[in-house]
Amino acid sequence: MIFEENKDSYSLHVKPLTSIKVLDKGLWLVLAGLKDVPPHIALILDGKYYSVSVRNVKAGEPVDKFLKAISRNSLPTLFVSIKAPLHTEFKGGGLQEIFESYTALGNGEHTCHWPIRDFFAKAFSHEFAKVDLVFELLALAQHNNMLNDCKSIYVNKTTSVVVLPKYTAKHIRTKINSILKVNE
């Protein structure tokens, strides 16, 4: 089992990321900035990075740009491998279209999770349309036997389980607003 949860936290069983080449194939759910509540979430598909943040929307950027960004601050990050067949449309640009339909995070309602939720709902199951938080998505993916592996970078090398606190939509909005204020 890769993912577990209880009332106040969720955990992932991790192995260190020993080669960034593994990110060049398949689908990876990214949890970046594990010390932040909530962490930033994004996707990697076949070596391309997809993210909606306060600063911008990244849709199909080479993953090494993202890896350079997290390495500057040694940002603790998890990469959760998703094992599920993708419809051809998502390998050929459908994921890019989903992310490009969003704007950078601001005073609107959407979060970094929304395009990921939309993608999972369209690519795998409409059940994912109902999840608003990453640990809900992970629980549903685990229930559907979609979690393959979890790799970590800039996480204590002796740690095989990463425990993260659960959060609410209000925590997400507070985090977005705090980043917006810093960027003013």
* pLDDT of 82 higher than 60: yes
> Which pLDDT tens digit goes with each residue over 87-119?
656 665 688 899 999 988 887 788 899 999 999
Looking at residue 143, what is its pLDDT? 95
Res. 174 pLDDT band, cuts 50 70 90:
confident
**How much is the pTM?**
0.93
The alpha carbon dihedral of 33, 110, 83, 142 has a sign of positive
Cβ pair 164, 26 in contact under 8 A: no
Residue 54 CA neighbour count, 13 Å, CB half? 16
Weakest mean pLDDT among 36-50, 52-66, 165-179: 165-179
